[in-house]
Structure 1
Amino acid sequence: MEEVPHATRKTVEAVEGVHLTQLAVGERMSVQHFHFEPGAGVPEHSHRHEQVGYVDQGTLTFVVDGEEFTVGPGDSYVIPGDEPHSAANRGEEPVSGVDVFSPPREDPDWMD
């Protein structure tokens, strides 16, 4: 087992109002925490990683292939690898949750 102490984690502002924290990276998956301020969002992008997520606070709106999907507290989602998608917090409260990526995103672009 490998422990990842809270003090060793680094939070970055990937885009204005979107804060991402790499929580742990294993051989086959990685997990990150996300926090979107009201009005913040990430533009359309894609990555080879399958992305599975869970929202624990607020409401997040995804756009995938022109279709909107809204997920709120307690909701989960799956985004296939290489699927272009965007996400936005259109509400008035922050959104937070957790994403799991497989294969792991050891060095995602937002860390540069």
Structure 2
Amino acid sequence: MEPVSFDQAETYEPEEGWRRVAMAGSDAFSFEWFEKPPGHSSPMHDHENEQVCLVTEGELTVYTEDDEVTLGPYDSTWLEPWERHRVENTGDERAVGVDVFAPGRSFDFWLDRE
């Protein structure tokens, strides 16, 4: 067992107000807590990992090239590997959620982008 204390976990802000925290994971999967301020959107992107995005607070809209879905607390969506997408906080309050990636991805995915 390898417990991870939230207060001591590795954390970073790819952009101001968009915080990500690396939680328990392995080469098979990675688990990241995140928060996004109102109006914030990640850029359209893709990655080799399948992804589950679970909202715990607020509202997020997930856009793909073919569809969009708005998620509220405890809603989730699954994204296929290489499915282009972006995630936007379309609500009026901070949005909080959890991303799970399989296989696990590097925690610095957003920091290594051009």
| Fold equivalence (TM over 0.5) | yes
User: 2:97 maps to which residue?
Assistant: 97
RMSD: 1.5
Query: 1-side partners of 2:6 and 2:61: how far apart?
Result: 29
- Tell me which protein shows more strand as a share of its residues: 1
**Alignment check: 8 A CA contact 2:49 2:81 kept:** yes
User: 2:36 maps to which residue?
Assistant: 36
> Structure 2 length normalisation: TM-score?
0.88
Q: Which runs of 5+ in 1 are unaligned?
A: none
% identical equivalent positions = 38
Describe the SS at the equivalent of 2:42.
strand
Amino acid at match of 2:44: E
How many angstroms does 1:66 deviate by? 4.0
Which 10-residue stretch deviates more, 6-15 or 29-38? Answer: 6-15
1:66-112 CA-to-partner distances (Å, cap 9, x unmatched) read 42211111101101110000111121101001111000013432245
Amino acid at match of 1:50: E
User: 1:26 maps to which residue?
Assistant: 26
Describe the SS at the equivalent of 2:39.
coil
Query: 2-side partners of 1:33 and 1:22: how far apart?
Result: 7
Query: 2-side partners of 1:99 and 1:43: how far apart?
Result: 16
Q: Which runs of 5+ in 2 are unaligned?
A: none
Aligned length: 112
Query: 2-side partners of 1:19 and 1:62: how far apart?
Result: 18
